[in-house]
A and B are shown apart, each in its own frame.
Chain A
């Protein structure tokens, strides 16, 4: 099992001042699958994300990417190895335009970022690709707009565009549809369904219909532990899950 997984966690644990946010989690993300992490608030989903992307060092446990141990690597190294993430709370560069965001992401793997003696106009080499990606997420008309001027749903779309610009092996999306209207949710789901081709996607999502439409595998977390794992239909029918989480969520939707 571990040999097949693209991203694998073993005994992953994270403590915050005595509070155990993630508790001995084993996780195997199969290549080219969409894997959803669900669970009530405080279940440890975002902490798990931060552990997988190097933003937090684990208290215990290991993380392997394509069989390589990446435990404790800083986030920029993890990103370079092909793990891109979006943030739960939109995280952009307020002053930069949408296109400049994508250009900055496209530039990252090259050494161009170190060239302090060259002109920034060199970054125009990324313009066509940047515009393609912006078009893909429906932001073509807003390429020049500074991020701070974008509406919420558009910011989420830009997050996705810059994550895709890294051409990652694994794409970790933290609540990509949070706070979106129905129309934007549909468009984002379609978009993820498109970009998952040839990629592995890990998704934290509260919206169970989104999970149902996208996920091959669902892991339900509760109080930092894996409660159930399996295909969506199976997880959905699981008694423990219904008691812990889905019952309440289904009633809400």
Chain B
């Protein structure tokens, strides 16, 4: 993006656009800080929690790609996260392939599932889109529940191996660094998509679909493409989640998983991309801390925080901080 866009008259824009318009050194500093934190994370947290954060970061970013950049609220993204988790698990268990291959297979499977679901869903907007995605996700859940011979039903899919060319990855600490490149690839892909000519069209469609059509852009096909790409990234996260836990339970397809992904994005900041990563870190860490402290009603706390954020900081953590920093910088320039 250009860093030359410092018209005084132009008000600061929200979300990612605001950050994209921050000076180059700010963005590089943020990127360096983010990478440093990613490299340090399993030293400061339980490695297993750090692994979960990475997986959920991908999931959140995939939801934000739709919610923040295409204007589509998917309430059924567990279908892609969970389908990939099962596919990855099955490939790893039965074919014994290296886990990145299994994860990739899972992600492509999730993208393949996103094609028909997206095809039918993008014809609707708003709450109807959310309901269609939820309905399909419920169907996938019931299929997984009934198809016990393959998925293990309520017992789940046990013993997903973490094989990678004979390396010993049983320690979560080393496993974290083994999956980090895949996660960074997924995040970079999401960043590239939102900063591509395609991403520019998506933002146009989000803000004014009728105008985008009048410009000659086939809105449904763009939305569908975004949906499939989002399904792929959610699949990357879900596959890694399965390998990380060495086990796939039906929870990965449950509607509360879809809901949690949306909450994570709203908490982090819709349309900010990195806000989803931040939201994932906060929610996963918080949930781990609460369950470790023996607190039972985790949903009460995350739900309460969610309500607070929606009421007080509508731009989420990332969006609110970015707005504050940009305001401070603008004030200093004067």
| Given contacts A123-B200, A145-B10, A79 and B192 within 8 Å (CB-CB) | no
| Residue B1 at the chain A interface, CB threshold 8 Å | yes
Say yes or no: B204 contacts A107, CB within 8 Å: no
Say yes or no: B195 contacts A119, CB within 8 Å: yes
List residues 95-121 of chain B with CB under 8 A from any CB of chain A. Answer: none
Main secondary structure, interface of B, reads helix
| Residue B17 at the chain A interface, CB threshold 8 Å | yes
Q: Which residues of B contact A55 (CB under 8 A)?
A: 210, 213-214
| Given contacts A108-B215, A113-B217, A144 and B196 within 8 Å (CB-CB) | no
Say yes or no: A95 contacts B11, CB within 8 Å: no
16 contacts between A and B (CB under 8 A): A80-B216, A96-B200, A97-B5, A103-B200, A107-B201, A114-B225, A115-B196, A115-B198, A116-B193, A116-B198, A117-B193, A119-B195, A120-B195, A120-B199, A142-B9, A149-B11
Q: Which residues of A contact B13 (CB under 8 A)?
A: 95, 146
Say yes or no: A116 contacts B229, CB within 8 Å: yes
| Given contacts A53-B214, A123-B200, A162-B215, A96 and B195 within 8 Å (CB-CB) | no
| Residue A94 at the chain B interface, CB threshold 8 Å | yes
Query: Of A92, A103, A146, A149, which contacts B208 at CB under 8 A?
Result: A92
Say yes or no: A104 contacts B9, CB within 8 Å: no
Q: Which residues of A contact B10 (CB under 8 A)?
A: 97, 144-146, 149
Say yes or no: B200 contacts A104, CB within 8 Å: yes
B residues at A contact (CB < 8 Å): 1-2, 5, 7, 9-11, 13-14, 17, 192-193, 195-201, 203-204, 207-208, 210-211, 213-219, 222, 225, 229
CA of A233 to CA of B11 in the docked complex: distance in angstroms?
Answer: 48
Say yes or no: A104 contacts B215, CB within 8 Å: yes
- Count residues on chain A whose CB falls below 8 Å from chain B CBs: 44
List residues 86-143 of chain A with CB under 8 A from any CB of chain B. Answer: 87, 91-97, 100, 103-105, 107-109, 112-123, 142
Query: Of B1, B9, B204, which contacts A149 at CB under 8 A?
Result: B9
Query: Of B197, B214, B222, which contacts A75 at CB under 8 A?
Result: B214
Q: Which residues of A contact B229 (CB under 8 A)?
A: 116
CA of A122 to CA of B199 in the docked complex: distance in angstroms?
Answer: 12
Say yes or no: A94 contacts B207, CB within 8 Å: yes
CA of A107 to CA of B11 in the docked complex: distance in angstroms?
Answer: 26
Among B17, B197, B203, the one with the most A-chain Cβ atoms within 10 Å of its Cβ is B197
Say yes or no: B210 contacts A91, CB within 8 Å: yes
| Residue A74 at the chain B interface, CB threshold 8 Å | yes
Say yes or no: A74 contacts B213, CB within 8 Å: yes
| Given contacts A93-B203, A145-B9, A112 and B197 within 8 Å (CB-CB) | yes
| Residue A51 at the chain B interface, CB threshold 8 Å | no
Say yes or no: A115 contacts B197, CB within 8 Å: yes
Q: Which residues of B contact A123 (CB under 8 A)?
A: 197, 200
CA of A167 to CA of B208 in the docked complex: distance in angstroms?
Answer: 21
Query: Of A108, A117, A122, which contacts B216 at CB under 8 A?
Result: A108
| Given contacts A113-B197, A116-B225, A76 and B219 within 8 Å (CB-CB) | yes
Say yes or no: B215 contacts A166, CB within 8 Å: yes
Question: Can you name 7 extra interface pairs (CB under 8 A) apart from A91-B214, A116-B196, A144-B5?
Answer: A55-B210, A95-B13, A104-B204, A113-B197, A113-B217, A123-B200, A149-B10
Residue of A nearest to B207 (CB): A93
Main secondary structure, interface of A, reads mixed
| Given contacts A87-B211, A145-B9, A166-B215, A100 and B200 within 8 Å (CB-CB) | yes
A175 CB, min distance to chain B CBs, angstroms = 15
| Residue A7 at the chain B interface, CB threshold 8 Å | no
| Residue A63 at the chain B interface, CB threshold 8 Å | no
B245 CB, min distance to chain A CBs, angstroms = 31
**Scoring A residues 48 to 69 as 1 if CB is less than 8 Å from chain B, else 0, what string do you get?**
0000010100000000000000
| Residue A225 at the chain B interface, CB threshold 8 Å | no
Say yes or no: A122 contacts B197, CB within 8 Å: yes
**Scoring A residues 166 to 184 as 1 if CB is less than 8 Å from chain B, else 0, what string do you get?**
1000000000000000000
A162 CB, min distance to chain B CBs, angstroms = 7
CA of A103 to CA of B203 in the docked complex: distance in angstroms?
Answer: 13
Q: Which residues of B contact A74 (CB under 8 A)?
A: 213, 218
CA of A105 to CA of B213 in the docked complex: distance in angstroms?
Answer: 10
| Residue A84 at the chain B interface, CB threshold 8 Å | yes
Q: Which residues of A contact B17 (CB under 8 A)?
A: 95
Q: Which residues of A contact B5 (CB under 8 A)?
A: 97, 144
Say yes or no: A120 contacts B215, CB within 8 Å: no
CA of A166 to CA of B297 in the docked complex: distance in angstroms?
Answer: 57
Say yes or no: A79 contacts B215, CB within 8 Å: yes
Say yes or no: B200 contacts A84, CB within 8 Å: no
Residue of A nearest to B15 (CB): A95
| Residue A45 at the chain B interface, CB threshold 8 Å | no
| Given contacts A117-B196, A122-B197, A95 and B215 within 8 Å (CB-CB) | no
Say yes or no: A116 contacts B192, CB within 8 Å: yes
CA of A181 to CA of B1 in the docked complex: distance in angstroms?
Answer: 36
CA of A121 to CA of B196 in the docked complex: distance in angstroms?
Answer: 8
Query: Of A92, A120, A145, which contacts B196 at CB under 8 A?
Result: A120
CA of A227 to CA of B14 in the docked complex: distance in angstroms?
Answer: 49
